[in-house]
Chains A and B, each alone.
Chain A
Amino acid sequence: MGQGGNIGDTAQLIGCPVCDELHQLSRPDEGHRALCRCCGTVLITSRDRAGINILALSVAVMVLVIAATIFPFLSIDAAGIANRVSLWDVATSFRSGLLVLVSVATVLLIVLVPLMRTALLVYVIAPLEFDRPPLPRARGAFRTAQALRPWAMTEVFSIGCAVALVKVSDLAHLEFGPAFWMFSVLSLIVVVADRYLCSWSIWTALEEAEPT
């Protein structure tokens, strides 16, 4: 990025949200990133097909979260007694007293927040991708989606599964259900989708599609 010499026109400037350094705005070439010259934060990631990729991955995440919630997740048997649970059973396993709060938090973190975030992203990005005007309140929707980002804990949960498996392995025989594999794929997709998301590009696309 160039030196922030001319301060007159603020539309031609981009500020680093992390360290407040000003830069002259210049879009990086396709496949490249613009970094802050002061702290190295990624300001812009330029990818031609980012929008359609995020859309595809978001839809995949929604389908997988819903499927993983319904289908059996893990099954266990010991001494002839068996038990199968779905993701929903896992998320709601804290039933006594104040521990219900932990159930509520778990449902939010591994089911509702990831679902809500991907739904919001589709709502914002789909019209942009198909050259339609943005849907009402698209800006608020994208801000909410960005704020939810750290609270969608799909990947964390999948590592939790691995630890739990080892913990019970000497207590009982354990089998993975279809939902378990879906959830493992889901975790990978979430990580990939996050790499495509450049908030600066989406804000610019929103601005160009519907100037304020």
Chain B
Amino acid sequence: MTRAIDAGLVTCTECASVWPRGQGTCGRCGNALQSRHTRSLQRVWAFWLTGLLCYVPANLSPMLVTSTLTGTSANTIVGGAVEIAKHGDIGIAAIVLGASVAIPVAKFLAIAYLAVSVQRGSARSPAARLHLYEAVEFIGRWSMIDVFVVAILSALVQLSVVASIRPGPAALTFALSVIFTMLSARSFDTRLIWDEHNRKT
């Protein structure tokens, strides 16, 4: 087992070609070459914190404002899911809660764990940590579902006085929170996991 960094080489993260250390750009695809992304963890934490700061108001302010003949009601993310569950659609309520509460919280925890694990070390194997990272990367985009649902509902349900739905301020903060967590996960240089593992053994 030889790693590029130990052989004095750099791997291009875009096209997987290998170059001598010190070369600035990849001769094959033109990507900037970096043995390890410098300041990877600073970027991870900066985006992580921004995402978290957006996630708090996203849960406190209303996501949807519904006006019907009987009155106006504003629902937060959790409130909306509870409403759906009361109608009997437990399955859909579970999807909404999963996509907008469970997944974002799990994502914040997973990214924080990965970043701390390469800084402080971890008992878990690199393969297990890579699986966790891949899961975070895969799942990240799916949190946008809730924003799209609000977009569809507020475009569609415009039936003058009978019923109308408007987006609330949480639509913005929630979308921002999803985007910043995606950026945070993408800033993480997975090669650091093996660096940390090799230091230990």
Residues of A within 8 A of B (CB): 4, 7, 10-11, 13-22, 37-40, 43, 74, 76-79, 81-83, 85, 89-94, 96, 98-99, 101-103, 105-106, 109-110, 139-140, 142-143, 146, 150, 153, 156-157, 159-161, 163-164, 166-168, 170-172, 199-200, 203, 206-207, 212
Contacts and interface: CB of A to CB of B under 8 A. Distances in A.
Given A156-B145, A157-B148, 12 more contacts: A7-B7, A17-B12, A22-B9, A39-B126, A39-B127, A76-B157, A90-B156, A93-B154, A99-B169, A153-B144, A199-B16, A203-B17
25 contacts: A7-B2, A14-B18, A17-B11, A18-B190, A19-B191, A21-B2, A43-B16, A81-B162, A82-B159, A83-B159, A85-B156, A90-B156, A92-B155, A93-B152, A94-B154, A99-B167, A102-B172, A143-B31, A160-B146, A166-B89, A168-B153, A168-B157, A172-B157, A172-B163, A199-B16
Nearest to A36: B16
Nearest to A106: B151
Given A39-B130, A96-B166, A150-B141, A15 B12 contact: yes
B149 A167 contact: yes
A139 B2 CA distance: 29
A165 to B, nearest CB: 8
A150 B134 CA distance: 13
Contact of A110 (B7, B148, B175): B148
Nearest to A37: B1
B81 to A, nearest CB: 10
Contacts of A168: 153, 156-157
A143 B30 contact: yes
Contacts of B4: 15, 20-22
A154 B16 CA distance: 28
A16 B12 CA distance: 9
A52 B22 CA distance: 38
Contacts of A167: 84, 92, 149, 153
Contacts of A39: 126-127, 130, 194
A166 B158 CA distance: 17
Interface of B: 1-5, 7, 9-20, 27-31, 68, 84, 87, 89, 92, 95-96, 126-127, 130, 137, 140-142, 144-149, 151-160, 162-163, 166-167, 169, 171-172, 175, 179, 182, 186, 190-191, 193-194
Contacts, number: 208
Given A22-B2, A38-B194, A94 B159 contact: no
A83 B156 contact: yes
Nearest to B92: A166
B49 to A, nearest CB: 20
Contacts of B191: 18-20
Nearest to A100: B172
Nearest to A160: B148
B74 to A, nearest CB: 14
B32 to A, nearest CB: 10
Given A19-B126, A85-B155, A166-B92, A98 B172 contact: yes
B15 A19 contact: no
Q: What are the 10 A-B residue pairs with the smallest beta carbon separation, nearest first?
A: A15-B11, A160-B148, A93-B155, A203-B15, A164-B152, A13-B18, A17-B13, A90-B155, A81-B159, A93-B154
